[in-house]
């Protein structure tokens, strides 16, 4: 599993195309042939960009859900709503479908941010608001999420 690094400010054109920065394209270079999957985020008004391998691994987990359980079917339907296979063109651009642009309220100024093994695509103002909101309790959140973990690599 590759871990992406960085937060990048980009611009979207009127057709919903985003030119990815060179440093991000380099991180994605070995994944260009297999393509990507873009979808709505579960918890935020942003989009998630999965390399196909990461998406396939996630689908293997989701495919194990019992489809005779209504909650599972509702989850699968909502999780996969608006999912599209996309590619990065020769110029290093991705085309975001209009319904996903609308969902994420993407305007001209956007942020592409690493989220471990996927990328998040945000409207810049929404991203800044989400980061500002997260700063308030980040210390407590970090303690709750990571504080009880025993990490053998940390001295």
pLDDT by residue for the chain (155 residues), tens only, comes to 679 999 999 999 999 999 999 999 999 988 888 999 999 999 999 999 999 999 999 999 999 999 999 999 999 999 999 999 999 988 889 999 999 999 999 999 999 999 999 999 999 999 999 888 766 677 787 788 888 766 555 54
Closest CA to 76 of 45, 47, 121, 39: 39
> SS3 of 84, please?
strand
Is the Cβ–Cβ distance between 50 and 42 less than 8 Å? no
Right CATH number for 7-146 from 3.40.1550.20, 3.40.50.800, 3.40.50.2000, 3.50.50.60? 3.40.1550.20
> How many Å apart are CA 42 and CA 120, to the nearest integer?
11
Closest CA to 120 of 100, 134, 141: 100
């Amino acid at each position: 599993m590759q871990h992406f690094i960085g937060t990048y400010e980009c611009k979207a054109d009127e057709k919903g195309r985003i030119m990815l920065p060179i440093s991000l394209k380099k991180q994605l270079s070995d994944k260009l042939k297999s393509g990507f999957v873009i979808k709505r985020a579960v918890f935020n008004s942003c989009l998630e960009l999965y390399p196909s391998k990461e998406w396939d691994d996630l689908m293997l987990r989701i495919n194990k859900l019992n489809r005779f359980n209504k909650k599972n079917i509702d989850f699968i339907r909502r999780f996969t709503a608006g999912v599209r296979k996309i590619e990065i063109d020769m110029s290093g651009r991705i085309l975001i479908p209009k319904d996903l642009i609308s969902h994420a309220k993407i305007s001209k100024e956007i942020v592409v941010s690493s989220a471990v093994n996927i990328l998040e695509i945000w409207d810049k103002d929404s991203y800044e608001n989400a980061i500002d909101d997260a700063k308030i309790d980040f210390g407590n959140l970090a303690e709750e999420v990571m504080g009880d973990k025993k990490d053998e690599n940390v001295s």
